[in-house]
Chain A
Amino acid sequence: MANKIRVATTSLAGCFGCHMSFLDIDERMLQLAEVVEFDRSPLTDIEHCTDCDIGLIEGGVCNSENVHVLREFRKNCKILVAVGACAINGGLPALRNHIPLEECLNESYIEGIGVENPKIPSDIELPLLLNQVHPIHEVVKIDYFLPGCPPSADVFWKFLTDLIEGREPSLPYELVHYD
């Protein structure tokens, strides 16, 4: 047990679609579980990372909490992986980058249709939004990138088995070919 490879995962400004796709490796999950143990992850409900071998990050960086989580992963994971379009490029959440944050917040909390009791939420518990959504490699050093929206289950499988079996991960054309 002690020699199992430790994997942590999280979703920052993402939709959990990458996690869902990961689960699509289906019965191969059992095979994986023989050599892998999950640390912090939505799959385990563990709240903080301890020493891990691999960290999988879904989603970009949109707020201060994302920065803290990302740093925790970087600090604890030997290999940190950007998973999916949002982690790599900012993706869908980054569509707001063309609109000043002030306008976004005003539209959502002050002027938008159907807003009741208009005011900008302010609570010490709430993370503040960054003025733009950033790909994760702009905030910490990233070792690998898994493209796709989401990356297919086979991409996760190929990447993880490569790493676990000590090979330099590589994705064949079929796995990163989208049309």
Chain B
Amino acid sequence: MADLVTHLCTALLPGVLIAGPRATWLALGVVAPDLAARVPGLALDILRRLSVPIPINIEAPFAVMHMPIGVLCGAVLVSQIVHPEQRRQALVWLIAGGALHLAVDALQDHHGHGYFLLFPFSTQRYELGWMGSEATVAWAPWLALLTAVVWGVRWAWLRQRARSGRAIRK
């Protein structure tokens, strides 16, 4: 998996064009696969290192949240906490974010040990192997800076537009 900052930037950079709640859903959708699938395992790892007796492979079922079927079903379930007026749109953008996450991850190289994109229909692993699994670490700060600049420019432009609108009305 690419790092979470890079994942967020891949959603927030194009998200500046759609802005508003759609950009937020896209961003939340893009981080959801890692949060749902990896964070429980990492938390249990920490507990194991502290000698807490955690049963073996108890975190294994969470792995499905990093598969297309888990992304789809998870988005349907999570969208239920969204207000009904926004729910359908939220669902679409959450799924788009999850798909973007899996697409970015599939670019990486894990020596052929890629992602189970078709489980439970196939146990074949897929990856494109175009970049190393830590390659994004070097880009992440620059991507974060670029994202902040792009959103900053948008904010300044909107503010400027609002001011000129008020001036014309006067």
A and B physically associate: no
Chain B residues near A (Cβ < 8 Å): none
